[in-house]
Structure 1
Amino acid sequence: MSTVRERSVPREAARRRPATPAGSPRGPGGAGRGTPWPYLLIAPAVLGMLYLLLYPLGRALLISVQDFRLRQLILGDAEFVGLRNYRTLLGDPEFWEVVRRTFVFMAVCVLAIMVLSTLVALMTERLGRVARTVVLSSLVLVWAVPVVAATTVFQWLFHSEFGIVNETLTGLGLDSYEGYTWFAHGGTAFAIVVVLIVWQSVPFAAITLYSALVTVPAELYESARMDGAGGTRVFRSVTFPLIRPIFMLVLSLEVIWTFKAFVQIWVMTRGGPGEATTILPVYAVQTALSGQRYDLGSAASMLTVLLMSGVLVLYFRQLFRQEGEQL
Structure 2
Amino acid sequence: MTVHSQGAVTAPQDAPPKSAGGQQTPPTTKGAGTSAPRRGRKPLPAGWLPYLLIGPAVLSLATLLLYPLAKNVILSFQKVDKIEFIQRKAPFNGVENYTQLLGDAHFWTVVLRTFTFTAANVALIMLIGSLVGILLNRLGTWMRLVLSMALVMAWAMPIVASVTVFQWLFDEQFGVMNWVMRTLGFSGYEQHNWFETGLSTLTIVTVLVVWGSVPFVALNMYAGLTTVSGELYEAARMDGANGWQTFWQVVFPNLKPFFTVTTFLEVIWVFKAFTQVYAMNRGGPDRASETLPVFAFVEGQSQGHYALAAAISVLTIVMLVIVMSFYFRLILKQEEEQ
The two structures share one fold, judged by TM-score above 0.5:
yes
Whole-Å Cα distance in 2 between the matches of residues 33 and 228 of structure 1? 61
Does the CA-based 8 Å contact 1:166-1:179 persist in structure 2? yes
Alpha carbons of structure 1 residues 207 and 31: separation in structure 2 relative to 1, 3 Å:
farther
Within-5 A mapping of 1:93-132 = 93-132=105-144
Q: TM-score, normalised on structure 1?
A: 0.86
Deviation at 1:55, TM superposition (A): 1.5
Does the Cα contact within 8 Å between 2:202 and 2:277 map onto a contact in 1? Answer: no
Change (3 A) 1:110 1:178: same
User: What is the aligned residue count?
Assistant: 298
Equivalent position of 2:81 in the other structure = 69
Over alpha carbons, which structure has the higher Rg?
Answer: 2
Is there any run of 5+ residues in structure 2 with no aligned partner, and where?
A: 1-40
Tell me what 1:243 maps to.
255
Distance 1:201 1:77, change over 3 A: same
1:265–1:271 contact (8 Å) kept in structure 2: yes
Amino acid at match of 1:282: V
Q: Distance in 2 between matches of 1:30 and 1:133?
A: 54
1:45 aligns with 2:52: no
Q: State how far apart, in whole Å, the 1-side matches of 2:308 and 2:191 are.
A: 39
Superposed CA offset, 1:62-106 (max 9, x none): 110011123433443311111111011001111111111111101
Deviation per CA, 1:269-313, whole angstroms, max 9, x where unpaired?
A: 111122331111111111112331101000000001111111121
Task: Tell me the residue number matched to 2:6.
Answer: none
Structure 1 residue 36: Cα displacement: 4.7
Distance 2:321 2:48 in 1: 35
CA contact (8 A) 1:190 1:276 kept: no
In 2: Cα distance, 1:273 partner to 1:203 partner: 30
Alignment of structure 1 residues 193-272 onto 2, 5 Å:
193-272=205-284
Cα distance 1:232–1:32, how it changes in 2: closer, same or farther (>3 A)?
farther
CA deviations over 1:247-285 (Å, ceiling 9, x no partner): 111100000011001111111111112233111111111
Aligned mate of 2:96, from 84, 107, 116: 84
Structure 1 counterpart of 2:156: 144
Q: CA RMSD in A?
A: 2.0
> Using a 3 Å threshold, how does the CA distance of structure 1 residues 77 and 279 change in structure 2: closer, same or farther?
same
User: Offset at 1:232?
Assistant: 0.8
Q: Which amino acid aligns with 2:318?
A: L
CA–CA distance in structure 2, aligned partners of residues 35 and 92 of structure 1: 52
Contact 2:171 2:194 in 1 (8 A): yes
Equivalent-residue separation in structure 2 for 1:316 and 1:207 (angstroms): 24
Q: Give, in angstroms, the shift of residue 325 of structure 1.
A: 8.0
SS in structure 2 of the partner of residue 152 of structure 1: helix
- Aligned equivalents of 2:224 and 2:86: distance in 1? 52
Report the counterpart of residue 10 of structure 1 in structure 2.
none
What SS does structure 1 have at the residue aligned with 2:195? helix
Tell me, in whole angstroms, the C-alpha distance in 2 between the residues paired with 1:38 and 1:315. Answer: 27
CA gap 1:274/1:77 in 2 versus in 1, 3 angstroms: closer
CA contact (8 A) 2:172 2:192 kept: yes
* Structure-2 residue corresponding to 1:273: 285
8 Å contact 1:158–1:182 — kept in the other structure? yes
- Checking the alignment, whether the CA contact within 8 Å between 1:65 and 1:82 is kept in structure 2 is yes
**Change beyond 3 A, Cα 1:177–1:134:** same
Q: Select between 54-63 and 143-152 the one with higher mean Cα deviation.
A: 54-63
Normalization by structure 2: what TM-score? 0.83
In 2: Cα distance, 1:37 partner to 1:315 partner: 31
TM superposition shift of 1:165: 0.9
Of Structure 1 and Structure 2, the greater helix share is in 1
1:166/1:177 contact within 8 Å kept: yes
In 1, Cα distance between equivalents of 2:49 and 2:331: 39
**Aligned ranges 1:133-172 → 2 under 5 Å:** 133-172=145-184
CA distance in 2: counterparts of 1:188 and 1:38, whole angstroms: 52
CA-CA distance at 1:152 after TM superposition: 0.7
- 1:296 corresponds to 2:308: yes
